[in-house]
Amino acid sequence: MPEFPDRRDFLKTSGAAGLVAAGISAPADRTASRPRRNPIRHRTVRTNGIDMHVAEAGTGPTVLLLHGFPEFWYSWRHQLPALAAAGFHAVAPDLRGYGHTDTPADGAGYSLRDNLADLTGLLDALGTSSAAVVGHDQGATFAWAGAQLYPQRFKAVVALGVPYATRLPMPITQYIHANNPGKFNVVVYFQQPGVAEAELDADTARTLRTTLYALSGQAPPDLVPRWLLDTPEGAGYLDPLPDAGPPSRWCDWLTDREFSRYAREFGRTGFDGAIRRYRAFDFDWTDLPQVGTVKVTQPTLYMTGELDSAYRFSSLDAMRANVPGLRKVIVMPGCGHWTQQERSHEVNNNLVGFLRSEYART
């Protein structure tokens, strides 16, 4: 029987719903938190055989903004105008299976390879050979993998929440069963076709409210550990999570009107495409064995909330050892998982400062 790390380590590759030191830097540019008015434009591009919806703002060097679960381009609504005001072309796609981007019916079409091909094809459609890539949650997983496999296309990396992770000794579902037997796990739960979709789609607004609250800095610090480590196998996704009501009752970073954008979008699409991505995790382990073995030499910034489960249940040791391009680690006190929304001004300031500094070097 192989030896395994702490039973919580497996969470680091799971994304928001599967969940996964440092200093705090001063803001690089205060003006970045007060961007000039820049309209956000929308269009659809053809890439890798699918139609991909993108929101974009500004002109200049391209910065790709990759969302996580359960989000869509709108989670970058604060960063798009800030980057545009700072002289960048900010592009936030709906990833495959989300928003107004195609949702392939074939469950095999959600692999890491497919998602990376979407992104390199998007760069081609934008007419640019390379871009800086900024990823949150599963978007960070794509950013890390893209930087390893396509270093000429992704010239700088900013990861929110999810740090660089080394290759696991076995596929993720086997790893979870070996480390946390008899316990509920989102990745494992999402493997059952139709089960998770039925639960999450029954009331999409409730699913979003509970997920956003549970992983935020406003939730009790022990809520997510109890959910992800102590819930018995056989439970549903929502069973252990409280419904805290509309965001106006519990936070100041998401208005009820903004939340309604999430509720309308997922009410329209359901969670089908988002969940299918999780079912490709084991395939990815076999299909792209080099991911998690390649060093990231590009300039890199890592930002996280101190209460983000992607940070709390992980270690930064692998990132420090395998990312020689790492410039800075920023941990934001009191911030949960929804980094770019919970701390939009601080994220904007540090993001713009990092990108300006790196582009000034070239």
Catalytic pick among 118, 137, 284, 308: 137
Three-class secondary structure of residue 158 per DSSP: strand
How far is the CA of 194 from the CAs of 138, 239, 270, 275, 283, in angstroms?
Answer: 22, 17, 12, 10, 19
Indicate if 42 belongs to the active site: no
How far is the CA of 144 from the CAs of 115, 151, 218, 270, in angstroms?
Answer: 13, 10, 28, 27
Q: Which of 304, 333, 8, 284 is nearest to 170 (CA)?
A: 284
Indicate if 137 belongs to the active site: yes
Q: Which of 110, 140, 66 is nearest to 279 (CA)?
A: 110
On the CB side of 191, how many CA atoms lie within 13 Å of its CA? Answer: 15
Q: Write the single-letter amino acid at 336.
A: G
- Tokens representing 128 are 């640019």
Relative to beta strand 154-160, strand 300-305 is parallel
- 274/214 Cα distance (integer angstroms): 19
**245: region left, alpha or beta (phi > 0 left; psi from -120 to 50 alpha):** left
Question: Which residues neighbour 357 within 8 Å (Cβ) at sequence distance 6 or greater?
Answer: 28
How far is the CA of 273 from the CAs of 48, 69, 108, 266, in angstroms?
Answer: 17, 11, 11, 10
- 164/140 Cα distance (integer angstroms): 9
Q: Which of 263, 247, 243, 266 is nearest to 255 (CA)?
A: 247
Relative to beta strand 62-66, strand 89-93 is parallel
**Which contiguous run of DSSP H or E holds residue 283?**
helix 281-287
- Tokens representing 280 are 């490709």
Q: Which residues are the active-site residues?
A: 137, 337
